[in-house]
Amino acid sequence: MSETVFTYAAPALKFGPGASDEIGHDLQGYGARRVLVVTDAGVAATGHPARIADQLAARGLEVTTYDGARVEPTDASLVEAIDFARDAGPFDAIVAVGGGSTIDTAKAVNLLTTNPGELMDYVNAPVGKAQAPSRPLLPLVAVPTTTGTGSESTTICVLDVLALHVKTGISHPALRPRLAVVDPQLTLTQPAMVTAASGMDILCHALESYTARWYADFDAKRPEERVPYCGANPVADMWSERSLTLLAGAFRTAVRDGSDSAAREQMALAATFAGLGFGNAGVHVPHANAYPIAGRVRDYRPEGYPADEPIVPHGMAVSLTAPEAFRFTFEADPERHLRAARLLEPDADLGAGPDVLPGVLTRLMRDIGIPNGLAEVGYGDADVEPLVDGALKQQRLLATAPREVTGEDLAAVFRGSMEHW
């Protein structure tokens, strides 16, 4: 039997300039008294976390701040944050102030301070044991300072497992934040490359969920078998289409002029809408490929990110194979791929079939300064096999692809992504 049911869930949302000034009021509504604020050193330097912590304290809440979240979390960095919270706790609520890395760190802290066991017990199979939480988690308020990851809306915590040189994650509905507080004013401090990379994450969230396998094309599931990623569906489609429309109007402007508050607000809306879509429909090939691209980085250090160690930021890693990935998935639903291209570039010539959406993407990537393919971040043909191996470990994502994906298919996508223009 084919599936007849799709699911949809989302956190409560508070959006708009000044929204971050009201978190103390919201936490009091949850009955919180002791609060852990999670952030990273770069975001801490902007003053946003301290301002929010002061506002919480003014409401009579006891606040502890952890500013050691790592950009692109690893199993080691998450364990460090969890140990800090276990020692400093117990807490009644957690507030994450930062990008997706910080929010994901807070999700892991929330999970492991309320549930027994160790981190790898909960990491997705086959890397970890994929254990489900057995106890309720604390209220988590996610306050994004970047426009991209959508982590404030999702059930996913992404991490690098250092020993395996692979990115993977923890996925469970209990990880979804209770409240997403999206204040566009907090994103004005984003450097241009962070805006570009995280914006490509928004774009791929919207495109991948929009082109994902249709929910009714899956086999029917029992209630206990349902997972957060249920495939493309009418509700997720609505959010993805609107996100693509917003990106078409604001993305280049936000990268070119970070002080443009209107463009920043549109990017924040696009990120929120994309998160509300992909957090239920799912993502597929570009995200599966991104995990080994980021996990196996050698010496690439992009402008605007911490320079103390090499990094391929998540959104950049996702984008680097996106043109070839959507060329591969085109035959599954040409009409959707062409509509997505037209939403992003209203005057796009649709006559080139499978090359239309890749062309729209590469023009955008070139305009906003994304590297010209995998070669520019340090990969070559000899890396294709280990990259494929890493992507094949992401079966939770590949299962959502609109076509069956083999190792040979992935190898062709990686080889075709060495240079885009």
Residue 228: count of CB within 10 angstroms of its CB: 21
Predicted pLDDT of residue 33: 96
Number of Cβ within 10 Å of residue 124's Cβ equals 20
E strands within 41-128? 62-66, 93-98
Contact 55, 143 (CB under 8 A): no
pTM of the entire predicted model: 0.89
pLDDT tens for each residue of 374-413: 999 999 999 999 999 999 988 889 999 999 999 999 999 9
- CA end-to-end distance (rounded Å), the chain: 45
**Among candidates 317, 324, 295, which has minimal Cα distance to 390?**
295
Which is it for strands 62-66 and 93-98: parallel, antiparallel or unpaired? unpaired
φ, ψ (nearest 5 deg) of residue 249: -90, -25
Which of the pair, 156 or 203, is modelled with greater confidence? 203
Residue 277 CA to residue 283 CA, distance in Å, equals 10
Distance CA 56, CA 378 (A): 44
* Phi, psi for 34 (deg, rounded to 5): -115, 125
Task: Tell me the percentage of the chain whose pLDDT exceeds 90.
Answer: 81
Q: Which two tokens stand for residue 110?
A: 């929330």
Residue 93, helix vs strand vs coil: strand
Q: What is the pLDDT of residue 160?
A: 85
Mean pLDDT taken over the chain: 94
- pLDDT per residue over 12-32, tens digit each? 999 999 999 999 999 999 999
Tell me the β-bridge partners of 36.
64, 94
